[in-house]
Structure 1
Amino acid sequence: MPGGPPRPGGTAVTDTTTDTTTAADRRPAADARPPRRKSRRTRRAAAATVVVAAGGAAAAVALGAGGGTAGGTAAGGLPPQTAKVTRQTLRDTHSADGELGYGPASTATSRLRGTLTALPGSGDRITRGRTLYEVDDRPVTLMYGATPAYRALRPGLTGSDVRQLEGNLAALGYDGFTVDDEYTGDTAAAVARWQEDRGLAETGTVEFGSVVFAPGAIRVDTLHAGQGDPAGPGGKVLTYTGTAKAVTVELDAADRRLARKGAAVDIELPGGDTVKGRIDEVSTVIEAGDQGEDPQTKVEVIVVLSGAKAQQASEAYALASVDVSFTAGTRENVLTVPVAALLALQEGGFGVEVVTGSTTAYVPVTTGLFAGGRVEISGAGITEGTIVGMPK
């Protein structure tokens, strides 16, 4: 006799043979009917779970695709839920707690013997050519440069520290010499004029310890000695930071991909305002474990606030906790689906279950960026608005 009405999601089948069975014989056993929908949902959920656990990597246990082949008609009924393929911009972002301050502190140590006769106050800002502290009433001067002072500078010497000194003298208005790597008699004459203005003996030689080089203007953070204390080579005098507001963030080693020097970040201040920042320094630090625990590897990120507007917005906060949003990757104008829509195909790779009317088909796809619970996909026939199956 002719077959009955088509199954949901299937195709009607016509049987031309003579049916000699009884109604009881035709009734299938309760345990003989394959639980296709339940099986599909289980497989789909498993595939999505594996993808999420892999952090978006294309690695998953190969699962059967409901008995169908990639690109073929799927067996069983329609999926319990569906979603549309949408076109959008994906951003792989991550938020982390940060501490707003002035960035990492550096230590100024004395190279001169004597007594500390003058010190700045905590929070004081000192610029090029100004006194950082005094030893036996002799000023120790702040100058700008990346190379720390490591020797006395006198005629006949060459090196990058000579050029650094001459660049500072020129910036302070002294002339009559060429800014280069050679400490000439002309350089010594300019140094003597500078020494006269500073109240120092006009020797033309820069005594080791009479100048401290820092990358730029500084803010005194903490004093480690007091006025009247003895000064000596290696003795800590004070710590200092830069003058611009900065945020320090500690990331887990697994999030190292987020910390790219020069990358832009968003910083949410305690009042709710969001300002822009830029990653300035990235370093690896080892934190000692507590009570016998293993040490932990962390990634320390220094973020500088970008522009006068951001600096001004942060001035109301001396020290504060802030929220920093990193963007590890961006894909613009791409097709996306919820991660849960992905299936791991038995033949390898990923696919989605495309729903067309009352039928479905498994279509292989190539995955791209994973972000915010969605994944970038591409594949034959995958267009904006395509309907794909979803688990409950």
Structure 2
Amino acid sequence: MSRTAKTVAPTDSTPVRAQNSRRGIVVPLLLVTVLGGTGALAVTRPWERGESTTRQAPLSYGVVAVEKGSLSTGIQAGGTLGFDEPTPVVATGRGMLTALPAVATVVKTGGRLYEVDGRPVVLWKGERPMWRDLGPEATDGPDVEQLKRNLIKLGHAEGLGLTADQKFTPGTTTAVKRWQKALGVPQTGTVTLGSVIMLPHSAVRVQHVGAQLGAAVGTGSVLTVTRTDLVATVQPAENQLSRFKPNGRVTVKLADGGTVNGRIRSLIRGGANGGSGGDDNGGSGGGSDKTTVTVALDAQDLARKSGPSSVVVSVVGDSVSDALIVPVTALLALDGGGYGVKVADRSGAAARLVKVRLGLVADAKAQVSGAIQAGDQVVVPK
């Protein structure tokens, strides 16, 4: 939309001041504020009826064309794209670190995370960390059940009739030996403390390596890992929070110009528990008193092409298409209710008042309908 350089000369139809007529009083709408992207209209009149002892400088007017297009009350907020759920990995047991993975390495269940004393430490899936050796002498417990689930999933219990219960049976011993044979370590039938790391994901990505080769285990975090999925995180302003609803749909504009749809997965008051600062992760850290919104993305392939970076998250509200659109500054509040616009003739020398019906309002623009059409020139303050 572009404004012409011409100035509309004040006439008895130009909205320079309040005019009394049989139609009532026409008051120019000089300030319209769209609050919070909701389309609510707040009108401030520059003067009241009656005499004023203060003279105001005359206003200058121009014209703009009525547009036809789309309008939306959606809001936008800047955020970041990063890998999900940074989690520190603390080594247990005894020994020295003899091999460490590279940043960005993806490790699946059954894969090697790192080595201690030349022996692999393997990723298994589970919510409960290992706290003891698990072998034929182990008492019943949920950690035994967790171990058996992994042995079954990795195919080492085939033909043994093994079930994921809490008993360490002779069949469990056989399955452990099969796993140890495939791993290339002594077949003892006992899973020792420190040989397995239990994490609640089927695959993780190495975000940060926090230890050095030759360091003794048990003195701190060896790695920080994340899930393999990218998510968008954003901390909206307080007046935007009502638009971010759990499971609500959003659009995420990526740094490379692409766009991916997403779903609001969580809203956490007081900031997210971000990672400790990975080498290449764009996730947010903790310490903020704002609400952190996490968005799960529909298309991971598109997100990975962009990689960890800044993004813009858009929440779409009400929208219209194929609508007649004018600037809100073109609207005139009519005495008795409703709104109108001044439509200038082609010469710009005169303008006629046209009453319009107001529709959606967003981004300082308004949807109108009435006896106007696209291309008509409406009067606006300069």
Q: Common fold, TM-score beyond 0.5? A: yes
Deviation at 1:239, TM superposition (A): 1.1
Equivalent residue for 2:280? none
Contact 1:336–1:374 under 8 Å retained in 2: no
Equivalent residue for 2:210? 224
Q: Structure 1 residues 197, 334: CA separation in 2 closer, same or farther (over 3 Å shift)?
A: same
Deviation at 1:126, TM superposition (A): 1.8
Cα deviation, 1:27-67, whole Å, max 9, x if unaligned, reads xxxxxxx93269x8874013x1xx32564463636869998
Equivalent residue for 2:302? 310
Where does 1:124-203 land on structure 2 (aligned, <5 Å)? 124-145=105-126, 147-149=127-129, 151-152=131-132, 154=138, 156-158=140-142, 165-175=147-157, 176-177=160-161, 180=164, 182-183=166-167, 185=169, 186-187=171-172, 189-198=174-183, 199=185, 202-203=188-189
Larger Rg, first or second structure (1 or 2): 1
User: Does residue 391 of the first structure (1) align with residue 375 of the second (2)?
Assistant: no
Deviation at 1:156, TM superposition (A): 2.6
Contact 1:341–1:352 under 8 Å retained in 2: no
Equivalent residue for 2:277? none
Root-mean-square deviation (Å) = 4.7
Contact 1:118–1:134 under 8 Å retained in 2: yes
Deviation at 1:237, TM superposition (A): 0.9
Deviation at 1:283, TM superposition (A): 3.5
Equivalent residue for 1:266? 252
Deviation at 1:140, TM superposition (A): 2.1
Q: Structure 1 residues 296, 184: CA separation in 2 closer, same or farther (over 3 Å shift)?
A: closer
Deviation at 1:333, TM superposition (A): 4.2
Equivalent residue for 1:291? none
* Structure 1 residue matching 2:289: 3-state secondary structure: strand
Q: Structure 1 residues 8, 97: CA separation in 2 closer, same or farther (over 3 Å shift)?
A: same
How far, CA to CA, are the matches of 1:110 and 1:275 in structure 2? 40
More helix per residue: 1
TM-score by length of 2: 0.63
Unpaired runs of 5+ in structure 1?
1-6, 11-33, 68-78, 288-294
Cα deviation, 1:118-165, whole Å, max 9, x if unaligned, reads 3223333322211212334443211235x242544656324xx66654
State the AA in 1 paired with 2:253. I
* Structure 1 residue matching 2:141: 3-state secondary structure: coil
State the AA in 2 paired with 1:324. V
Unpaired runs of 5+ in structure 2?
1-10, 50-60, 273-286, 346-350
State the AA in 1 paired with 2:42. A
Contact 2:235–2:291 under 8 Å retained in 1: yes
* Structure 2 residue matching 1:173: 3-state secondary structure: coil
How far, CA to CA, are the matches of 2:162 and 2:252 in structure 1? 44
State percent identity of aligned pairs: 24
Contact 1:115–1:231 under 8 Å retained in 2: yes
Deviation at 1:222, TM superposition (A): 2.1
Equivalent residue for 1:329? 317
State the AA in 1 paired with 2:140. G
Contact 2:232–2:295 under 8 Å retained in 1: yes
